[in-house]
Amino acid sequence: MIIPCIDLMDGKVVQLVQGREKALEGDSPLEMLRKFQAFPEIQVIDLDAAIGKGANDSLVELLAGRAHIRAGGGVRSAERASKLIEQGAQKVIIGTAAFSKTGPNREFLRQAGAAIGADRIMIALDSKEGRIVVKGWRESLDLAAEDVIRELEPFCGSFLCTYVDKEGMMQGTDLGWFQRLREATGHAITAAGGITTLDDVRALHELKIDAALGMAIYTGRLDLEELAAWNAGVKGKQ
């Protein structure tokens, strides 16, 4: 399945390169929602909340009230997770708070699971140079996604795995990394980071991994109508 992405910063829809440099701005959040209306699920990330510099709560709530979304960015308390569900999010993406410096933050994940149900939690495993990165991809942990993914299974229903090394660069992604993750867990996985062509999407689908798409859509490299038709065809075969 293909999941289009809406990343929010300063009240605008943006696309960043490796989570740092703003490459472009999209249309208004509601216009992007209109463009993505053929897709059954949309990923919404509050980048300001992720890096701890404000939040776009009203926009997230607006989008959650009008579409089936998974929402993340700055989810560092069970209360924040609960609020996103109350706003209408179907799933909550937890990244930074899912980890301590030495491994999974089990206490927090238990609290979040008690608040919204573990099946509605999607843990973000964002990797750069082979290590998990947190705090808007600005801090690296001495942990590899492949080594902790199975340990995290009891605390979530799925994983969002981003190959940050290629994020926003339109150079393809690392299918070998995603294959290793697929072999390490039976949970649902959504891939992100560098997915550039429909061949990339098809290869991930063969691994039974969904694809979250941002830059390739916003630059027009991938055609929305073609993607929606492919998505519908895949869903029809399930």
Residue (of 177, 174, 171, 178) closest to 197 by Cα position: 171
> What string of pLDDT tens digits covers the 238 residues of the chain?
999 999 999 999 998 876 667 878 889 999 999 999 999 999 999 999 888 889 899 999 999 999 999 999 989 999 999 999 998 999 999 999 999 988 999 999 999 999 999 999 999 999 999 999 988 778 889 999 999 999 999 999 999 999 988 776 567 799 999 999 999 999 999 999 989 999 999 999 999 999 999 999 999 999 999 999 999 888 766 6
Q: Which of 7, 46, 200, 210 is catalytic?
A: 7
Token pair listed for 109 = 């994940």
Question: Is 199 among the residues known to form the active site?
Answer: no
How many other CB atoms sit within 10 Å of the CB of residue 159? 24
How many other CB atoms sit within 10 Å of the CB of residue 238? 5
Please give the Cα distance from 36 to 28 (Å, whole number): 12
Q: Which of 46, 48, 126, 210 is catalytic?
A: 126
Please give the Cα distance from 79 to 77 (Å, whole number): 5
Question: Is 126 among the residues known to form the active site?
Answer: yes
Q: In terms of CATH, what superfamily is 2-237? A: Aldolase class I (3.20.20.70)
- Tokens 């795995």 sit at which residue? 161
3-class SS of residue 43: strand
